[in-house]
Structure 1
Amino acid sequence: MPQLQDLVLGLQHIGIPTDDIQATIEFYQSLGFSVMHTNEHNHHKVAFLSLGNVVIETYENDQVAAKCGAIDHIALNVSDIKATHTVVRALGYQELEDGIQTLPFFSNGVSYFTIKGPNAEKVEFSQYL
């Protein structure tokens, strides 16, 4: 079985929920970010913004806290989502969904799964397809 450090390529994105996606996009654009991708999922708008090697995923959410600590998840880019899932399950971490999920983002979609960290943080393992 491969080691997790052999599968994780680095930070993929930081997820920030919002109740005003346009204002969030404009704010990050004013800081030099550009929109790489937009989509809609479950009737909520999603946008990915990039600056250098930093990617922010912002998405509409009906229950946005809008307070300090509003980052929802940290996503790690992986080379093989199935192998990563096998390794993480073997480590015994609690998954927040049932197995690997797929979304129609970017050219070919993205597959991911999320675990809960020791401080209730969400850590997402994600692979561009």
Structure 2
Amino acid sequence: MKTLLENNFNGLQHIGIPVTKIQRSVSFYRRFGFQPVMEKTFPEGDGETTAFMMQRAGVLLELYQPPANQCEALRNRSDGPVDHIAFSVTDIQAAFDEMQADGQTIIEAGPVHLDFWENGCKYFAIRGPDGEKLEFNQIL
């Protein structure tokens, strides 16, 4: 049986965790040996989001603090703040086309470019059967 992304799947890329105080979270994860490998601040809505990619032993966490008007809802989540699981793909457009052809519920209208990493990255996300967000990401 052929699986989705059969020749376009490179494994887990990162786990996205929204936080309410970015420096507190960076310090916390440093205590477990995670080191920052990237930091970016970018506009989002009426504010800005600051993101840190933290890495240890091949595990990559995306810690990000959304604009202040979103932090209250984040504080009130009952099951914790894990937002998404991201998988690495070789060809983001091919992955998007395949998910679309398979009838998956895609959140974005197409792959979105972010000015992350040296040359940027592109991503899109789908919803799993229980509403979980699964992101597909290609570092350019």
Q: Does 1:115 align with 2:126?
A: yes
Equivalent of 2:104, from 81, 88, 93?
93
Instruction: Give the structure 1 partner of residue 74 of structure 2.
Output: 64
Instruction: Give the structure 2 partner of residue 45 of structure 1.
Output: 50
Q: TM-score, normalization: structure 2?
A: 0.87
Q: Which runs of 5+ in 2 are unaligned?
A: none
Question: What's the secondary structure of 2:54's corresponding residue?
Answer: strand
Tell me, in whole angstroms, the C-alpha distance in 2 between the residues paired with 1:92 and 1:11. 22
Relative to 1, partners in 2 of residues 1:92 and 1:6: Cα closer, same or farther, differing over 3 Å?
A: same
Matched-pair contact (CA < 8 Å) for 2:10–2:89: yes
Tell me, in whole angstroms, the C-alpha distance in 1 between the residues paired with 2:84 and 2:4. 23
| Letter matched to residue 58 of structure 2 | N
Matched-pair contact (CA < 8 Å) for 2:99–2:106: no
Which stretches of structure 1, 4 residues or longer, exceed 4 Å deviation after superposition?
A: none
Q: What RMSD in Å do the two structures reach over aligned CA positions?
A: 1.4
| Letter matched to residue 118 of structure 2 | S
Instruction: Give the structure 1 partner of residue 87 of structure 2.
Output: 76
- Displacement of 1:70 in angstroms is 1.5
Q: TM-score, normalization: structure 1?
A: 0.94
Relative to 1, partners in 2 of residues 1:32 and 1:15: Cα closer, same or farther, differing over 3 Å?
A: same
| Letter matched to residue 51 of structure 2 | V
Relative to 1, partners in 2 of residues 1:36 and 1:78: Cα closer, same or farther, differing over 3 Å?
A: same
Between 1:24-33 and 1:61-70, the stretch displaced more is 61-70
Q: Which runs of 5+ in 1 are unaligned?
A: none
Q: Aligned residues: percent identity?
A: 36
Aligned residues: 128
